[in-house]
Chain A
Amino acid sequence: MESVLNPVEHLQHIFGPAINRVSTNHGIPVVHVHTNQISAITRYLHANEKLRGTLSLLWAVDHRPRDVCYELCYLFTLGESKDWLIVSTDLPGEERLFESITPKIHAANWYEREIRDMFGLIAHGHPDLRRLVRHNHWPKGVHPLHKNFPWNSVLQWRQPPGSVDGQFIHGEGVFEVPVGPIHAGIIEPGHFRFTVAGEPIMHLDLQHFWKHRGVEKLFEQQTLSGGVALAERITGDTTLGHSLAYCQAVEMLWEIHVPRRARYLRSMFLELERLHNHIGDVGGICNDTAYALAHAHCSRLKERVLQLNDRLTGSRFLRGVNCVGGVGIDLSTDQFSELVTELEHIEKDFTELEQIIAVNASLIDRFESTGILKKQTAWDHGVVGVVGRASGIDRDLRRDRPFAAYDELSVRVAGSLHGDVRARVQVRVSEIHESIRLIREIQRMLPDGPLKGDRQVVPDSGAWALSAVEGWRGEILFFLMIGEHEQIHRCKVRDPSFVNWPAIQMAVIGNIIPDFPLINKSFSLSYAGNDL
């Protein structure tokens, strides 16, 4: 009987009275459940063979002053269909405790720690409730996303900074190697604490959020139309991905119909962003095996793409390209032919380089079987993007939930089952070729027409939208809820790095520390996007 039911009916069939009500928002079913049932229902969604839900996002909303309650929302991406389903529950009044789902769903781990830091809501039964965003020197009782916490508060240290709570392993011959927050290269800050016995890594404890700038709170100071510049600066390497996800959320709220030409241009710029980042990463990964030749060539090619971006849009990182309703920049036919000719050169150049890389024995030796992320581990942690696809998680929003112009383009999704550094390099290489192919397809199909659509409605306070973009790193999610006078009430940003960072802790186990930079680069995660 269950097989013919849709997922919501399926849940209603099993949990009946625990479900308060069911609603739909922009086509996403929302199941409102009783707080004490949240663990049982999410566990069922996750483990049931037919539903196979992956936790994609977990966030809280402070409904004050409209309503004295917090709401917790759990977004699941369901198995084969890749449909979305939200489970939500209210914590009324002064209620601060909710049941942790982390013991059953690993993907919830950092989300629940984040909610504790930002809202002061405590996930009861969470196995590791150390501070995540608020480092130890932050004062007690500060929860920045409380509505009564002023965005421009000045925080006083309660102790000198520096001390961190690590997870320690003791024993004979067990050593700890702390690294960071400031690293040797030109990279972002993060603290890694390795526990080793001899050469192999037994355990890695990540301490991030050094760069926490309060992005989500800053969004709450913006109106819907004013948030684009901030979205572009969440993580500079994904300027376009984040601004696109933000604009799409606003467009859903304002029911803007984005013209076809604008949607095609958005897809094209998104592929350009993917291109320069993937080329740079392939070079970076080679550099971490000390293969400087490939690094030099890749950084040369990456620079060519960035200069191309600059010539086409006036910004190397595609800033100012997206605006609410469409795009702010159009390309002439001449510019398009310049773009396609340049990409042809770049592809030829890159293919020659690829042939050199592919037969380099010492490179293959370092890549193969290094930093394996097993499919089951990736699934348990809800890993997304390139890293997920390299571990056999066949998900790509461009195909699964088409946005921009991807419903009219056919995206060939790359993938691998090996889950090692080599697989991640191979997926990137395939995606580089696919991006160039897509841009050619876009050039052929590009329709004429306006670049910007107009807003249709004035949404009520409390309306919300959830938007998703497959950026070069993976799924970027934006939850946007509006308050009074079109002020943003809550903006939850999820960069793919946030879900992929915990998975790196699993991928390094058994590897040696000198391989860590290589594994880390093959994941290529953002610190800024993670820390917000």
Chain B
Amino acid sequence: MFKILKKSFKTGIVTGQYPPAPTGQKISVAPTAQKKAELFRKSLTIREVDTGSCNACEMEMNALASPIYDIERFGIHIAASPRHADALVVTGPVTINMEGPLKDVFKTTPNQKLVIALGDCAINCGIFKGSYAVTGPVDQHIPVDVRIPGCPPRPAEILQALEDLRKS
């Protein structure tokens, strides 16, 4: 017990110890998204859906939950089920095998909902573009509100994008 307390005191507060996101990111926000985002200004619950990414985007999403980024301090939560979500964060090109599950998840998420395409693959299929096993970027299957580019986008950039979306 003493060791645990000692460790916690020694470590102190690490939240915020990360380099700031570079300015001038090319995040694109659909006009309709602003209005929807207003609903979630104080609390936003996210469900992450991987439709075929290389898992680097997942690792950056996971990093957001770490004490360094601590996404919860902004009132952003990560939900275990799409039924509890306000926003879907979709990563990866949509593969032929994941197209069905993606549409199911979209249907299950209650309205109003935001769809955020995270990473180059979700936006334009990236390096996997054209493959027989890829059926298109996310917006070919479900309407996308926000696009955060990067391969993968850094956690600070994702955080910045989510903040901007809700402030505007």
The residues of B with any CB-CB pair to A shorter than 8 Å are 3-4, 7, 10-11, 14, 18-19, 48-63, 65-69, 78, 80-82, 92-93, 95-101, 105, 126-128, 130-134, 151-152, 154
Contacts and interface: CB of A to CB of B under 8 A. Distances in A.
A316 B154 contact: yes
A502 to B, nearest CB: 19
Contact of A236 (B19, B57, B82, B99): B57
Interface stretch (A95-103, A177-185, A263-271, A476-484): A177-185
B101 A189 contact: yes
Contacts of B53: 188, 211, 236, 528
Given A188-B55, A189-B98, A296-B66, A213 B131 contact: yes
Contacts of B65: 186, 299
B100 A161 contact: yes
Interface string A216-235: 01100000000001100111
Nearest to B62: A186
Given A152-B131, A300-B14, A316-B154, A233 B63 contact: no
Contacts of A185: 80
A210 interface: yes
A405 B128 CA distance: 32
Contacts of A184: 80-81
Contacts of B105: 182
B55 A299 contact: no
A135 B96 CA distance: 9
Nearest to B134: A213
A299 B3 CA distance: 19
Contacts of B10: 352
A222 to B, nearest CB: 10
Contact of B98 (A211, A218, A234): A211
A230 B97 CA distance: 20
Contacts of A152: 130-132
A317 B131 contact: no
A349 B8 CA distance: 11
Nearest to A157: B96
- Most chain B CB within a 10 A radius of its CB, from A189, A215, A280, A356: A189
Interface in A317-372: 317, 319, 349, 352-353, 355-356
B80 A236 contact: no
B4 A296 contact: no
A210 B135 CA distance: 13
A151 B130 contact: yes
A318 B49 CA distance: 24
Q: Looking at chain A's contact residues, is the secondary structure mostly helix, strand, loop, or mixed?
A: loop
A302 B68 CA distance: 10
A237 B63 contact: no
A210 B19 contact: no
A211 B131 contact: no
Contact of B95 (A213, A297, A306, A319): A213
Interface in A164-214: 181-182, 184-189, 209-214
A157 to B, nearest CB: 8
Nearest to A317: B56
Contact of A299 (B48, B57, B63, B152): B63
Contact of B97 (A151, A212, A526): A212
A160 interface: yes
A303 B60 CA distance: 10
A444 to B, nearest CB: 30
A149 B131 CA distance: 12
Contacts of B154: 310, 316
Nearest to B57: A236
A4 interface: no
Contacts of A303: 18, 63, 66, 68-69
A197 to B, nearest CB: 27
21 contacts: A137-B100, A138-B96, A144-B132, A153-B132, A161-B99, A161-B100, A184-B80, A210-B97, A212-B97, A213-B93, A233-B54, A234-B54, A239-B56, A299-B62, A299-B68, A300-B66, A307-B18, A317-B59, A352-B7, A356-B4, A527-B55
A162 interface: yes
Contact of B132 (A217, A239, A317, A352): A217
B55 A237 contact: yes
Nearest to A316: B154
B11 A297 contact: yes
Nearest to A185: B80
A211 B134 contact: no
Contacts of B92: 211
B131 A214 contact: yes
B58 A188 contact: yes
A47 interface: no
- Most chain A CB within a 10 A radius of its CB, from B63, B65, B126: B63
Given A182-B101, A188-B55, A217 B3 contact: no
B59 A237 contact: yes
B21 to A, nearest CB: 12
Given A211-B51, A214-B133, 14 more contacts: A153-B132, A188-B58, A210-B95, A210-B98, A218-B131, A233-B54, A236-B54, A236-B57, A296-B66, A300-B14, A316-B154, A349-B11, A528-B54, A528-B55
B56 A236 contact: yes
Contacts of B62: 186, 299
A236 B92 CA distance: 11
